[in-house]
Structure 1
Amino acid sequence: MPRPATFEEYLASLVPPSVRGLDRRTLLTGGVALSALTLAGCGGSDSTTTSGSTGTASGSGGSTAAATGEVTLGSNQSDAVPKAAIQGVMDAFQKANSGLTVKVNTVDHNTFQENINNYLQGSPDDVFMWFAGYRMRFFASQGLAGDISDVWTGMQGLNDALKKSSTGDDGKQYFMPSTYYPWALFYRKSMWQEKGYEIPKTLDELKTLGAKMKADGLAPIAFGDKDGWPAMGTFDAINMRVNGYDFHVNLMAGKEDWAGDKVKKTFDTWKGLLELHQPDSLGRTWQEAAQSLQQKKSGMYLLGMFVAQQFEKGAEQDDLDFFTFPEIDSAIGADAIEAPIDGYMMSASPKNDAGAKALLKYVGGAEAQGLAVKSDPSVIATNSGVDTSGYTALQKKAVEFVASAKSIAQFMDRDTRPDFASTVMIPAIQDFIKNPNDIDGLTKNIQAQKVSIFGS
């Protein structure tokens, strides 16, 4: 497919051709929003106003049903800052809807990822947190998510691009977007100023900077892949710089050869950077790696903007800045980034259908998202009605950064099949980190498993 020119066009590309057809509108003018996983199984309107609450849920036929009782929410936001932000939104929802209560069941992010299939096939919560893109459509197509098209009727502040990003293969809506955040190389401004470091524009400049940081006693690039998924972001960034956005998204969709020269070049390029990565990464969580940046023991960190959760609000977060992964091939450039969209979905058979839909309408609105981004400045709201005057400098820069990108991916474990991401790519990348000298064997093994899963 042709490369999307804007964030909105990228959002539209997340859904099948039958529901595409996007006007070029401005998405990023505004300012975030699972029952504990039973681990045994483990509209679109462009209006900038939105109602603060909803006590009813509109049915597909236009009727309304009173929303009362308990709604269960499965959340993967177990870190302190986002967990508090989610609870704040739920408290506000309950205050605005006296007949409803929300029981939040929180499970750590990695456990949630690994058990999502069993969770959705078992006894899932009424509403659960999930992601836009391939993985949303995958579960919708499997009949494991509920149709919330009626919730989208009359939604304000979420434009057509976001509605398309929430649409399944059958043309129905299954997702309510809440926030997004970019991936980039983050650093501390004060330390860089003190050391005289400059932002690298090319791969050679990145290597030169890394060598200088090592000489200064720093780990040039903070790195932690104990949980398996963080290093996917490094692969994605390098692959988009080496082979371009179109190849990357086709590779994620199972349409390219993992054993081909292009993928080998991605891994070989990464191999040349491993000496700049913080050692012993497979025993370190992303939080611990982020803390090394916070403590000025590392020079930079390729991660999502949620890295800010490990920094104290105020002066520490104000000291945090970022830049895009540098250019590797001048013919490809550096205009492709990742900016995953987070949000909420409804289980296929919620115990409280009306309550679930009332909650979904609320979390998609400006009131809820405004509360969330105020509590968690590591994310950006999707609703254009959110007041952005309180955004931190980091949030404001993130809005501009994403708006200026020409191509935007979600993230490896969102852009491809969940089984391929978890059972093939997590161990493959960790094997590469342990032994980067057998790229031929590594890529042949990935390709064989890809054919088994995708069928070709």
Structure 2
Amino acid sequence: MDHRPPLTRHVSIPSSISSSSSGSMPLSRRSLFLGAAAFGVPAILAGCGSDAPSTAPGGSSSGGLGTVTLGSNASDEVPKKSLEAQIKAFTQGAVKVNTVDHNTFQENINRYLRGTPDDVFTWFAGYRMQFFAEQGLALDISDVWRDIGGDFSQAFKDQSTGVDGKQYFVPSTYYPWAVFYRKSVWEEKGYQPPKTLDELTALAKKMKADGLIPIAFADKDGWPAMGTFDILNMRTNGYDFHVQLMQGKQSWTDPKVRQVFDTWRGLMEYHQPAALGRTWQEAAQSLAQKKTGMYLLGMFVAQQFPEADRDDLDFFTFPEINPAYGTDSIDAPIDGYMVSAKAKNVDGAKALIKLLAQASSQNIATGLDPGTLASNSKADTSGYSALQKRGAELVSQAKHIAQFLDRDTRPDFASTVMIPSLQSFVGKPDEIDPLLASIEKQKATIFR
């Protein structure tokens, strides 16, 4: 949630991304409040956003397919403008966008879908899509896929498919997680991307000596620390163990998991302090302002950089911890759209998601949002910035691709157990054993 020079070949997510979609697969982040009551937030906040119907030329709420309602978590400025630009091309009716703060949207999605949801809603591929499909809260859109399927790789289709073999999701954009830095700072200081954990630690010590906070870090919103856990676990224990842990099939008290937290604790002295009071945007701005040396985050970090500075942004994949797994796995979440099982305007909803699946729509998205890559294989990548090109190449080279902790596991486990648990660890990194015992106990209750 990024940019670079011409990419002459079309880049699609490698087929390995579909490896965990058999059964369950690995999903994160971003103002008018989408039915404020449904989200349990004060109704007065409903006036904070812009939910006026967005009518494309030739469309109206009374003609064609009428009005389609769209519940959106694109509350940050850049993705919000991107979505607005895309739906202007919807000529078959009108679109009323109800935008909700990203975190509020995610934390209340279950209640929302069981209440009075919009026709279409923004969501995530993989396990978290499958979860709501199995609950009967999403509409089967296999007929839409019969029309759009030729524009997507099998890997993307797999990530859009429920456990019943039907499709419930339309992919829009995706983005890799990596360690971002400013090239000018690194060139000035003579820093080099580390290839191992020892090299990363040595680099962090050097940055500290040079007066920089080595690693930008924020977890006020709960989800950013999930990315750190994901990569440390995949680097330490491998992709398969990570996915099984997310699915409740491995124990959180396993020594393998404790090793992950031990490693993380060892890096804490290099993290930006007071992370629980900082948003990811603020941490990203510290990187942009050259106050921090590097930042593990999704490519959407580019949104917080002035356009003139984006060419100074670069990244490296998180370094090796266990040689048995090297750097074969990354997080690369896929964002997109689903249709609610309670949709009032089903025909309009299907027409809208067909539009959003088109290469033309995704060209708009990747052009306006410097931190995204198009999922449609026919999208024009010639306008990708250097950063977008590098991001696409990183994903194409990965052997395993996870969707992010809160997309790879049950939503209730992610929100009620992992967010507070990881925040607890960030606040008190020495109390590992009781924390893991607590997670395991709660997991046993949720995964039955």
Give me the TM-score of the superposition, normalised by structure 2: 0.89
Q: Deviations over 1:188-208 (max 9, x none)?
A: 001100111111111111111
Pick aligned residue for 1:357 from 339, 344, 350 = 350
Contact 1:67 1:358 in 2 (8 A): no
- 2:200 is equivalent to residue 206 of structure 1: yes
RMSD: 1.9
Contact 2:72 2:99 in 1 (8 A): yes
2:74 corresponds in structure 1 to 77
For residues 293 and 431 of structure 1, the distance between their equivalents in structure 2, rounded to whole angstroms, comes to 25
1:8 corresponds in structure 2 to 15
For residues 302 and 376 of structure 2, the distance between their equivalents in structure 1, rounded to whole angstroms, comes to 21
For residues 394 and 274 of structure 1, the distance between their equivalents in structure 2, rounded to whole angstroms, comes to 28
Partner letter of residue 152 of structure 1?
W
Pick aligned residue for 1:271 from 255, 265, 285 = 265
For residues 16 and 237 of structure 1, the distance between their equivalents in structure 2, rounded to whole angstroms, comes to 22
Any residues of structure 2 matched to 1:3-82 within 5 Å, and which? 7-16=14-23, 36-42=33-39, 68-82=65-79
Q: How many angstroms does 1:15 deviate by?
A: 3.5
- 2:156 is equivalent to residue 162 of structure 1: yes
For residues 96 and 19 of structure 2, the distance between their equivalents in structure 1, rounded to whole angstroms, comes to 33
1:408 corresponds in structure 2 to 401
- 2:198 is equivalent to residue 217 of structure 1: no
Q: How many angstroms does 1:102 deviate by?
A: 0.7
- 2:346 is equivalent to residue 331 of structure 1: no
Q: Deviations over 1:123-179 (max 9, x none)?
A: 111000000011100000001111111111121311222222111111111000011
Q: How many angstroms does 1:120 deviate by?
A: 0.5
Q: How many angstroms does 1:9 deviate by?
A: 2.8
2:127 corresponds in structure 1 to 134
Q: How many angstroms does 1:215 deviate by?
A: 1.2
For residues 18 and 180 of structure 2, the distance between their equivalents in structure 1, rounded to whole angstroms, comes to 25
For residues 67 and 344 of structure 1, the distance between their equivalents in structure 2, rounded to whole angstroms, comes to 22
For residues 190 and 131 of structure 1, the distance between their equivalents in structure 2, rounded to whole angstroms, comes to 35
2:4 corresponds in structure 1 to none
Alpha-carbon spacing, 1:360–1:35, altered in 2? closer, same or farther (3 Å): farther
Any residues of structure 2 matched to 1:99-114 within 5 Å, and which? 99-114=92-107
Pick aligned residue for 1:152 from 139, 145, 154 = 145
Alpha-carbon spacing, 1:310–1:320, altered in 2? closer, same or farther (3 Å): same
Partner letter of residue 66 of structure 2?
G
Q: Secondary structure at the match of 2:108?
A: helix
Partner letter of residue 439 of structure 1?
I
- 2:373 is equivalent to residue 373 of structure 1: no
Alpha-carbon spacing, 1:35–1:67, altered in 2? closer, same or farther (3 Å): farther
For residues 377 and 411 of structure 1, the distance between their equivalents in structure 2, rounded to whole angstroms, comes to 20
Contact 2:181 2:294 in 1 (8 A): yes
Partner letter of residue 171 of structure 2?
P
Partner letter of residue 326 of structure 2?
G
Pick aligned residue for 1:255 from 229, 232, 249 = 249
Q: Secondary structure at the match of 2:151?
A: coil
For residues 85 and 330 of structure 1, the distance between their equivalents in structure 2, rounded to whole angstroms, comes to 41
Higher mean Cα deviation, 155-164 or 129-138?
A: 155-164
Pick aligned residue for 1:185 from 176, 179, 189 = 179
Q: How many angstroms does 1:89 deviate by?
A: 0.2
2:189 corresponds in structure 1 to 195
For residues 109 and 80 of structure 2, the distance between their equivalents in structure 1, rounded to whole angstroms, comes to 19
Partner letter of residue 266 of structure 2?
G
Q: How many angstroms does 1:377 deviate by?
A: 1.8
Partner letter of residue 337 of structure 1?
I
- 2:136 is equivalent to residue 143 of structure 1: yes
1:454 corresponds in structure 2 to 447
For residues 235 and 39 of structure 1, the distance between their equivalents in structure 2, rounded to whole angstroms, comes to 32
Q: How many angstroms does 1:107 deviate by?
A: 0.8
Alpha-carbon spacing, 1:12–1:270, altered in 2? closer, same or farther (3 Å): closer
Pick aligned residue for 1:171 from 165, 170, 187 = 165
Pick aligned residue for 1:427 from 417, 420, 425 = 420
**Structure 1 regions of 5+ residues with no counterpart?**
1-5, 20-33, 43-52, 56-65
Contact 1:228 1:427 in 2 (8 A): yes
**Structure 2 regions of 5+ residues with no counterpart?**
1-12, 26-30, 40-55
Q: Deviations over 1:361-382 (max 9, x none)?
A: 1111111111111111210000
For residues 246 and 68 of structure 1, the distance between their equivalents in structure 2, rounded to whole angstroms, comes to 45
For residues 435 and 233 of structure 1, the distance between their equivalents in structure 2, rounded to whole angstroms, comes to 18
- 2:390 is equivalent to residue 397 of structure 1: yes
Pick aligned residue for 1:228 from 192, 203, 222 = 222
Any residues of structure 2 matched to 1:241-252 within 5 Å, and which? 241-252=235-246
Q: Secondary structure at the match of 1:272?
A: helix
1:348 corresponds in structure 2 to 341
For residues 121 and 39 of structure 1, the distance between their equivalents in structure 2, rounded to whole angstroms, comes to 14
Any residues of structure 2 matched to 1:275-354 within 5 Å, and which? 275-313=269-307, 315-354=308-347
Contact 1:35 1:74 in 2 (8 A): no
For residues 121 and 380 of structure 1, the distance between their equivalents in structure 2, rounded to whole angstroms, comes to 31
For residues 226 and 132 of structure 1, the distance between their equivalents in structure 2, rounded to whole angstroms, comes to 24
For residues 73 and 218 of structure 1, the distance between their equivalents in structure 2, rounded to whole angstroms, comes to 43
Identity of aligned residues (%): 64
Q: Secondary structure at the match of 2:88?
A: helix
For residues 16 and 365 of structure 1, the distance between their equivalents in structure 2, rounded to whole angstroms, comes to 28
Aligned residues: 410
1:444 corresponds in structure 2 to 437
